[in-house]
């Protein structure tokens, strides 16, 4: 198996100096002026060193030149196979070009960076090759990173050993300007393919924490039973909801909000808020959503089309929150979050909601 590496050397530059991110040349300049030094190459080397220790043999790593990978590969005692030479200073465009150049030559592309780097990698490679993030950003919201650099290396080693499933994972788009203003505003940017290695939990006897296809099928059956053949299911974005649509016999886009009837007919694909409001006003509709993995947002992130008006039309009793037990476990005990933009509606959703975790199985889970 060939494992490639692209490093965004400026990722996380602002973190240690309190700038909450590194997007934009001016922020990076400011960070350097405050004494920030790049951490990404060092952390990428840690991941590669872990990978090397687990594979036991040195190997060549397709990568980009200089601080975008070559240095990290050398530091880990491996052989760089440089496929792209960036200019100085490096930019987001270099990440895109490097990832594009590497993708045809690797079976797994490691990238060191944060959410912004993940978005650039997604733009460059899409679903053509599995990727895995070595976390070096300030606060990663995307579910495409190893828990630590070392964990990322371990996951790559497990994939190299064979038998690891590949799954879709969410790339989030965080508005750093909003964060600097004290607001967290993340939206779903898209999906990449990552090796499915639950590194934060046991490798064996993982029970309810693996993305269990049978529990997704159970969720789909449960939702179909609730909606009935003539009821409408407003399905939020994400892989769980797309699997629900597939189990009903409906093919819908991964992104956006889709409306499916209980018999599998696609009533609306990638619908906007106005369209949903009109539909919810005419037929009994169930709002089915899944929280964002690891983060817990139920409303207000990535599914703003499900507007307060749509939620009010359906009513709290027709809200169907679904998540596998694995996804709930990934929240580490943190509550689900709502931020619909309507304070009164948010207040009404707080407390405990039954979360459908499988066929006939619910978790009473706190919502804040």
Partner 1 sequence: MKTGPTPSPLAPADAKIGPKPPLRRFHQARWDEPLLFELGSPGERGVLPPLAQAPADVVLPDGLRRAAPPALPELSQPQVLRHYLRLSQENLGADFNVDVGQGTCTMKYSPKVNDRFVRDPKVAGLHPLQDERTVQGVLEIMYRLEGLLREISGMDRFTLQPGAGSAAIYTNVAMIRAYFAARGEAETRDEVITTIFSHPSNAACAKTAGFKVITLYPDADGYPDIEALRQAVGPRTAALLITNPEDTGLFNPRIEEFVRIVHEAGGLCAYDQANANGILGITRARDTGFDLCHFNLHKTFSTPHACGGPAAGACGVSAELAPYLPTPTVEFDGTRYRLDDDRPESIGKIRPFYGVVPNLVRAYAWIMSLGGAGLREAAEVAVLNNNYLMAKVLQIRGASVPYAPGRPRVEQVRYSWERLAEETGVHSEDIGVRAADFGTHYWTSHHPYIVPEPMTLEPTESYSRAELDEYAAILAEVAREAYEDPETVRTAPHRSTVHRARVDVLDDPATWAVTWRAYRRKILGE
| Residues at the contact surface with partner 1, assessed by CB under 8 A | 50, 53-54, 147-148, 150-151, 153-154, 163, 200-209, 325, 328-329, 332-333, 351-352, 354, 357, 360-366
CA angle 80, 84, 90 (to 5 degrees): 105
Instruction: Give the residue with the Cβ less far from partner 1, 35 or 332.
Output: 332
Instruction: Give the residue with the Cβ less far from partner 1, 276 or 321.
Output: 321
Instruction: Give the residue with the Cβ less far from partner 1, 10 or 143.
Output: 143
246 CB burial (10 A radius; 0-12, 13-18, 19+) = middle
What's the farthest any 2 CA atoms get from each other in the chain? Answer: 65
Residue 328 backbone phi and psi in degrees, to 5: -60, -40
Dist CA 239 CA 3 (whole Å): 26
Instruction: Give the residue with the Cβ less far from partner 1, 50 or 173.
Output: 50
Instruction: Give the residue with the Cβ less far from partner 1, 65 or 335.
Output: 335
Least Å distance, CB 258 to partner 1, is: 27
Least Å distance, CB 107 to partner 1, is: 20
In Å, how far are 67, 102, 219, 253, 357 from 215, measured between CA atoms?
44, 36, 6, 21, 7
Least Å distance, CB 313 to partner 1, is: 23
Least Å distance, CB 43 to partner 1, is: 13
Dist CA 302 CA 143 (whole Å): 14
Contact status, residue 121 vs residue 92, Cβ threshold 8 Å: no
Least Å distance, CB 298 to partner 1, is: 15
């Amino acid at each position: 198996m060939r494992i490639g590496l692209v490093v965004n050397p400026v990722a996380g530059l602002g973190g240690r100096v309190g700038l909450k991110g590194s997007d934009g040349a001016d922020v990076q300049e400011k960070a350097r002026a405050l004494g920030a030094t790049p951490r990404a190459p060092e952390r990428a080397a840690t991941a590669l060193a872990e990978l090397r220790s687990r594979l036991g043999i040195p190997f060549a790593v397709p990568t980009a030149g200089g601080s975008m990978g070559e240095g990290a590969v050398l530091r880990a005692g491996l052989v760089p196979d440089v496929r792209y030479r960036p200019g100085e200073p490096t930019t987001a465009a270099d990440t895109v070009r490097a990832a594009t150049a590497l993708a045809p030559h690797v079976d797994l592309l490691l990238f060191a960076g944060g959410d912004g780097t993940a978005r650039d990698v997604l733009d460059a490679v899409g679903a053509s090759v599995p990727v895995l993030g070595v976390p070096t950003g300030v606060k990663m919201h995307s579910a495409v990173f190893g828990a630590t650099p070392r964990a990322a290396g371990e996951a790559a080693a497990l994939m190299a050993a064979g038998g690891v499933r590949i799954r879709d994972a969410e790339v989030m788009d965080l508005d750093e300007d909003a964060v600097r203003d004290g607001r967290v505003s993340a939206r779903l940017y898209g999906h990449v393919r990552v090796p499915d290695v639950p590194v934060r939990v046991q490798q064996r006897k993982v029970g309810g924490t693996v993305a269990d296809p049978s529990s997704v099928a159970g969720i789909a059956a449960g939702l179909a039973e609730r909606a009935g053949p003539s009821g409408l299911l407003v399905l939020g974005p994400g892989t769980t909801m797309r699997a629900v649509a597939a189990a009903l016999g409906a093919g819908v886009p991964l992104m956006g909000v889709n409306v499916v009837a209980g018999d599998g007919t696609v009533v609306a694909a990638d619908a906007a808020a106005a369209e949903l409001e009109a539909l919810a006003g005419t037929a009994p509709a169930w709002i089915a959503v899944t929280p964002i993995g690891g983060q817990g947002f139920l409303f207000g992130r990535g599914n703003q089309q499900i507007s307060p008006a749509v939620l009010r039309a359906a009513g709290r009793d027709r809200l169907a929150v679904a998540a596998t037990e694995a996804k709930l476990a990934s929240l580490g005990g943190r509550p689900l979050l709502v931020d619909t933009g309507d304070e009164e509606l948010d207040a009404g959703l707080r407390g405990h909601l039954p979360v459908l975790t499988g066929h006939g199985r619910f978790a009473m889970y706190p919502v804040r």
